[in-house]
Structure 1
Amino acid sequence: MRSILITGGNGGLGSGIGRYFLEKDPEAKVWLGVRSNRSTAEALEAEFPGRCALIDLEVTSKESWETAVATITETDGRLDVLVNNAGLHRDHLLATMPDEVWSSVISANLDAVFLGCRAVIRPMMGQRFGRIINISSLSAILPPLGQTNYAAAKAGVVALTQTLAKEVARAGITVNAILPGYIATEALAHMDEDAAKRAKAGIPMRRFGTPAEVASAVLFLACHDAGYVTGSALKIDGGIF
């Protein structure tokens, strides 16, 4: 059985990735990292008893990461895949951006990825196998107005991914990033109909992506056959960039 940890496990993308693993890979044991909101994750756990479990994880806490990874490796004997999916955006023009808005977004999107990668590297090196997939954003390479904090964090995730990939390649660990564009999750739920129409008009495919379309790429990067793919930054954006 392959042991897989997905952060942000209660969100639309995190739970969608978890579901995709559970449905497509009969060997997958999925751990959904959650903090407070957990109703969606609990429903997935109930649907796949014995193959899906929730684990408390505050992604900005070193201690929380160490506890979660220790629990998983003690339970399953290994940790094969980490999907760093948890994130946060709080858009604000830089000239008037409060310090806390900057630091909270950097912490949730970049510091959390650093802490997660560092926490899993040791057990993965011991196994001589590991797959790390970091969910960045199209904002890393095509940043919109008002996202200096989010775009900087997600660009940092890409640079971290590419550097770490070189550091651990000889240990049988691959590290890749995915850069989603507009994906139909709760993150887009606030958009009114006119705003959604305008957004879709700027996408060559004229539609939003689905969590399953991101999850399929994650599943590929996590598989044994993708062992020569590392340090990549794969955009999934319907052709925007």
Structure 2
Amino acid sequence: MRRRRPAWALGSVDAVINCAALSQPALCEQDYQLARAVNVPDKLIAALVRQRRTRHVEALLVHISTDQVYDGSHADWTETDRTAPINAYGRSKLEAEQYVRTHWERRIILRSSLIYGPQPPHPVGRPLFLQFVEEALREGRPTRFLEDEFRSAVYVKDICAVVSHLIKLLPDAPPHHTYNLGGPERLSRLDVARAVARHCGHGEKAIEAVTSSSMGDRGYNSPLDISMHVDRILTEIPVSLTPLSEALKEIFPAKVVAAAK
């Protein structure tokens, strides 16, 4: 019986967007080899090399990295700042960046911040941050939110817009290989929780502001401030980055009406 070839073998691939990641910091600390096996795309690049050799097509690799390659010692990180991650997740993602740079020339690395967005069409294995916040506030459950850890939380639609534009550039490419991809604001989780409360009209009684030092041992080190400058991507790629307040109108549209009543 003749074996059917897999779909990927039927033609060449012009672009690959690598979103695969083991992104739970505590799990990465427990098993770094597992973190590395998922986060360093050596097998993916081996497949791209095979395609280049057999089909003479060198695909664009868009690799999603993380803001946790920075150590969190100050605000507003730029792409040229020193990378020195303080947890296993960040180290595995930095190792991935280094592997991609060494082994594949036609690449774009996007250092994403905390990603938020609407509920996905298919269930995911863990609750999304914004949806967790909205549910906790709606039910009035006292919930702790960090007030002293800052990131440039980014709307998932903005990531899709950036990636879409990069693919449309083919066969050209932007001037740089590495870009910070965060939102336009420096936000703590407490800031996000308060924004959700205001938007949805839930009030802030359930919100408890806490510091990272009060959290005890989380099983990993967490950088205090990995907010990022996004000037490079805004200058070189014609996209806009959505403020949290505007994104909330799309993610929880019914809440706008409910809050206004």
Query: Which secondary structure does the structure 2 equivalent of 1:217 belong to?
Result: helix
Among 162, 167, 175, which residue is 2:107 paired with?
175
Among 58, 66, 81, which residue is 1:137 paired with?
66
* Residues 1:198 and 1:226: Cα distance change in structure 2 (over 3 Å): farther
RMSD in angstroms over aligned alpha carbons?
3.4
Task: Specify which structure has the bigger relative contact order, considering alpha-carbon pairs within 8 angstroms and separated by 6 or more residues.
Answer: 2
The reply to whether residue 198 of structure 1 matches residue 147 of structure 2 is yes
Contact 1:161 1:176 survives alignment (8 Å)? no
2:94 is aligned to 155
* Residues 1:226 and 1:220: Cα distance change in structure 2 (over 3 Å): farther
User: What is the TM-score with the length of structure 2 in the denominator?
Assistant: 0.48
* Residues 1:162 and 1:108: Cα distance change in structure 2 (over 3 Å): same
1:91 is aligned to 25
Counterpart-to-counterpart distance in 1, 2:49 and 2:175: 15
CA deviation vs aligned residue, 1:113-146 (integer Å, no higher than 9, x gap) = 11111112222452434111111111123469x9
Q: Percent identity?
A: 12
Gap runs ≥5 in structure 2: 74-84, 118-126, 138-142, 185-226, 229-261
Contact 1:175 1:231 survives alignment (8 Å)? no
Residue correspondences, number: 153
Aligned-residue offset at 1:196: 5.6
Among 93, 109, 116, which residue is 1:184 paired with?
116
Contact 1:85 1:134 survives alignment (8 Å)? yes
Structure with the higher helix share, 1 or 2 = 1
Q: Which deviates more from structure 2 when the two are superposed, residues 224-233 or residues 133-142? A: 224-233
Gap runs ≥5 in structure 1: 1-69, 167-173
Counterpart-to-counterpart distance in 2, 1:231 and 1:154: 19
* Residues 1:211 and 1:104: Cα distance change in structure 2 (over 3 Å): same
Counterpart-to-counterpart distance in 2, 1:180 and 1:109: 14
User: What is the TM-score with the length of structure 1 in the denominator?
Assistant: 0.52
Query: Which secondary structure does the structure 2 equivalent of 1:178 belong to?
Result: strand
Counterpart-to-counterpart distance in 2, 1:196 and 1:121: 45
Equivalent residues in 2 for 1:72-111, closer than 5 Å: 72-75=7-10, 77-92=11-26, 97-98=29-30, 101-110=31-40
Structure 1 letter corresponding to 2:108: N
Among 215, 218, 232, which residue is 2:163 paired with?
218
Contact 1:93 1:148 survives alignment (8 Å)? no
1:118 is aligned to 46
Counterpart-to-counterpart distance in 1, 2:59 and 2:159: 20
Among 174, 191, 194, which residue is 1:229 paired with?
174
Query: Which secondary structure does the structure 1 equivalent of 2:180 belong to?
Result: strand
Query: Which secondary structure does the structure 2 equivalent of 1:136 belong to?
Result: strand
Counterpart-to-counterpart distance in 1, 2:20 and 2:36: 12
Aligned-residue offset at 1:203: 4.6
Query: Which secondary structure does the structure 1 equivalent of 2:110 belong to?
Result: strand
